[in-house]
Amino acid sequence: MSAPRPPTDPSGLERYYVLTGGRSGPGGSASSLDVATLIVSRAAAVAGMQHEHEEIIRRCRDPLSVAELGAHLGLPFNILAVLLADLLDAGRVEARNPIPASGAGSGPDLALLEEVLSGLQRL
Amino acid sequence: MDFKGFDHPDRQTAGGTRSVKVMIAGGFGTGKTTMVRSVSDIKPLTTEETLTQASADVDNLIGVADKTETTVSLDFGKIGINDELVLYLFGTPGQERFWFLWNGLFKGALGAVVLVDTRRLASSFRAIEEMERQDVPFVIALNVFPDSKEHPIDEIRDALDIPPHIPVVACDARDRASSRDVLIALIRHLKERSAVALEPR
């Protein structure tokens, strides 16, 4: 009787809604994630895992930044952060935030700056 | 559990790798992406954030469609400093008005390079103001375009009202060595700042 409905656009909000189970923003363990945070897998993927979770674990066997993950998976930062929160809570990945310019109350780390400087000078 | 591909599940190889980030800011068309591209070890990538202006009131994505929504893109690259340290470079979105929407965009950055097109000084005013407001240490890099007139650095420093302790350098953002030298100028500036901070009072 009625013609089959055309498939809906999988690239928009509906896709993100499905991916995140309707959650819009990370809380807890993922709320401090930065675009330069490195993600490292700490366990292997398990059967029945959501495809995107599996993909993150696979790509992060070597440390990879949240920005790179987002670019490779085609996901915006806030959606990726929700998926990462699941994996962080389950202990399947570890997150390492970028080393900040200065620690609380202390000046910038001279040794770190020295390290960056000598790396740049070798380029 | 499937450990296929996990030769050493408890390995410490690359385990200690850490990251630092540097922001490349400046007005629209000042060469931010060009600089990221010229100095990056990888082909520059783009990451996105979907910003929702009314997001504080939204608990899930239902109903988001009628909020003001903007996708902001960040072009970024990376430089391997050594086996255990990676420097990420992020070109800020051209529209500075979105910067404040992206929480923590500058948080945790070592510092920033503010690119200036000497033919359109005013286009980078906003970026400079924003660095000062957010207390991000920065250097000014004058991107010398082929048809730029000669501009003495001091004249531009005056025009942009840059205090004497902040370096102003000239560069060609298309050139890897030149862009690297701007980053070196930034790190030297950060070292000087921290040396001053460490001086006994």
Q: What is the pTM of this model?
A: 0.83
B58: pLDDT strictly greater than 80: no
Closest listed residue to residue A53, CA positions, set A97, A1, A89 = A89
> Is residue B166 in a domain?
yes
- B43 vs B160: CA distance, rounded Å: 33
Local confidence band at B200 (pLDDT 50, 70, 90 cut-offs):
low
Q: Looking at the domain assignment, is residue B114 inside a domain?
A: yes
| Nearest C-alpha neighbor of A97 from the set B6, B18, B81, B133 | B18
- Top pLDDT among A21 and A84 is at A84
Give CA–CA dist A65/A37, Å, rounded: 5
Residue contact A24–B193, C-beta within 8 A: no
Average pLDDT in chain A: 83
Name the residue range of residue B71's domain. Answer: 18-198
- d(CA A77, CA A37) in angstroms, rounded, equals 12
In contact, B86 and B80? CB cutoff 8 Å:
yes
Q: For A3-14, what is the mean pLDDT?
A: 56
Structural tokens at position B62: 């239902």
C-alpha B98, offset from chain centre: 15
Is A65–B15 a contact, with Cβ atoms under 8 angstroms apart? no
Q: Determine the Cα–Cα distance for residues B42 and A59; give it in Å rounded to an integer.
A: 16
Q: Is residue B32 scored above 60 in pLDDT?
A: yes
Q: What is the mean pLDDT of residues A58-74?
A: 95
What CATH number is given to the structural domain containing B90? Answer: 3.40.50.300
Chain B residue with the nearest C-alpha to that of A19: B61
Mean pLDDT is lowest, of A11-25, A79-93, B72-86, B136-150, for: A11-25
Q: Judge: A98–B88 Cβ closer than 8 Å, yes or no.
A: yes
Q: Looking at chain A, which residue has its C-alpha nearest residue B40?
A: A123
Q: Please give the C-alpha separations between residue B167 and each of A70, B125, B153, B172, B187, in angstroms, as whole numbers.
A: 34, 16, 10, 16, 11
Q: What is the pLDDT of residues B60-81, one digit of tens each?
A: 444 444 456 677 888 999 999 9
Average pLDDT over every residue of A32-60: 93
Instruction: For residue B185, give the chain A residue with the closest CA.
Output: A117
Q: Given an 8 Å threshold on Cβ–Cβ distance, is A25 in contact with B78?
A: no
Q: What is the pLDDT of residues B113-122, one digit of tens each?
A: 999 999 899 9
The number of domains in chain B is 1
Task: Evaluate whether residue B127 is within a structural domain.
Answer: yes
The DSSP 8-state label assigned to residue A80 in this structure reads H
B39/chain A closest Cα distance in angstroms: 9
Q: What percent of chain A has pLDDT over 90?
A: 56
| Distance in angstroms (rounded) separating the CA atoms of residues B19 and B34 | 22
The answer to whether residue A27 neighbours chain B at the CB level (below 8 Å) is: no
CATH number at A13-121:
1.10.10
Contact A22 B85 (CB under 8 A): no
- Is this complex scored with an ipTM above 0.90? no
Flag whether B1 is in a domain. no
pLDDT of A51 higher than 90: yes
Rg over CA atoms, chain A = 19
Residues in a beta bridge with B87: B20, B79
Q: Residues B35, B91: contact at Cβ < 8 Å?
A: yes
Question: Domain-by-domain residue ranges, chain A?
Answer: 13-121
Nearest-by-CA chain B residue for A41: B9
Q: Quick check: is B13 in a domain? A: no
Q: What length does chain A have?
A: 123
**Interchain CB contact of A23 with B (< 8 Å):** yes
Mean pLDDT across the stretch B46-66?
A: 57
- What integer pLDDT is reported at residue B174 of this predicted model? 96
